[in-house]
Amino acid sequence: MKDLLAGKKFVIMGVANKRSIAWGIAQSLHNAGATLIFTYQGERFKKSVEELVETLGQETNYLISCDVTNDEDIEQAFNQIKEQVGTIHGLAHCIAFAKKEELEGEYVNTSREGYALAHDISAYSLVAVSKAAKPLMTEGGSILTMTYLGGERVVTNYNVMGVAKAALDASVRYLAADLGKYNIRVNAISAGPIRTLAAKGIGDFNSIFKVIEEKAPLRRSVDTSDVGDTAAFLMSNMSRGITGEIIHVDAGYNILGLS
Ligand code: NAD
């Protein structure tokens, strides 16, 4: 897998710390020989992302601020990426947010503002960054986002984030249909639960792990390297016939009915 992505350049959006799924993806893509450009949410994250990226030992570290709630920020970030590296071959969108109070109790209590915010950051942002990345993907390539089973089924406390993931999943299909003619593929990985900063916000998240370890076909939970290696496959030419797809990297948990 060492040279799978040699000579290719990918934008990684959503590293917050070393537990981030985006960081697992970055490590796998780096190990496959890719050059990586990182965007982070704002100054608060700059130092920790900078320190992590240094550990990769890339010749040049590309680090760009991009708050996805702001169209100007997105435009500026992708202009900067164009200036710094020119063509890119893909993008990993690993971004989501909902207010903590919307991730517990009953979905029926979701506020209008909380609903809009969760959808803006967690679903619309994929559309916005795909639009911004398209002109830089002159050789085609692969766009990848992160979703969760809570977009397909009801998962306790996931609430508005589940509804936003359903919108994200549908967006993957519509974007894949639009961008296929430019040889740009769009897919999602539906990851099983992983202990990250974002996951901490979900009420009673820890109790999910026990169920997964007992019931998932592989009898284990997944980690960011499981997701990262699937991302490397999706970014590579090996997955050239796959688009508009949601690939579950969840130790098989999603196939279960009542058991
Ligand atoms: P994380 O907290 O490490 O990453 C979330 C990222 O979103 C952070 O880097 C944060 O800075 C970024 N973000 C939030 N608001 C933003 C904004 N306005 N502009 C730019 N960036 C913003 O957590 P994670 O679990 O690695 O999450 C990555 C993705 O994986 C999310 O889409 C999440 O829903 C998804 N996911 C996570 C799990 C899990 O169990 N952890 C499972 C399935 C899917």
What pLDDT does 148 receive? Answer: 98
Q: Which tens digits make up the pLDDT trace of 62-115?
A: 999 999 999 999 999 999 999 999 999 999 999 999 999 999 999 999 999 999
**What interface predicted TM-score (ipTM) does this complex get?**
0.99
Helix axes 159-179, 125-133, angle to 10 degrees: 30
Phi, psi of 248 (to 5 degrees): -85, 120
pLDDT band at 2 (very low <50, low <70, confident <90, very high): confident
Order of all β-strands in the sheet with 184-191 = 62-65, 35-40, 9-13, 90-93, 141-147, 184-191, 246-249
From 148, 174, 182, 253, active-site residue = 148
Helix axes 21-31, 224-235, angle to 10 degrees: 50
Note the pTM of the prediction, 2 decimals: 0.98
The rounded distance, in Å, linking the Cα atoms of 220 and 200 is: 19
Residue nearest to atom 5 of ligand 1 (CA): 95
Whether 158 is catalytic: yes
**Does any ligand 1 atom lie closer than 6 A to the CB of residue 94?**
yes
Q: Find out whether 58 and 36 touch, Cβ atoms under 8 Å.
A: yes
From 40, 62, 158, 253, active-site residue = 158
Q: What is residue 37's DSSP assignment?
A: E
Q: Which tens digits make up the pLDDT trace of 40-62?
A: 999 999 999 999 999 999 989 99
Q: Which tens digits make up the pLDDT trace of 182-199?
A: 999 999 999 999 999 999
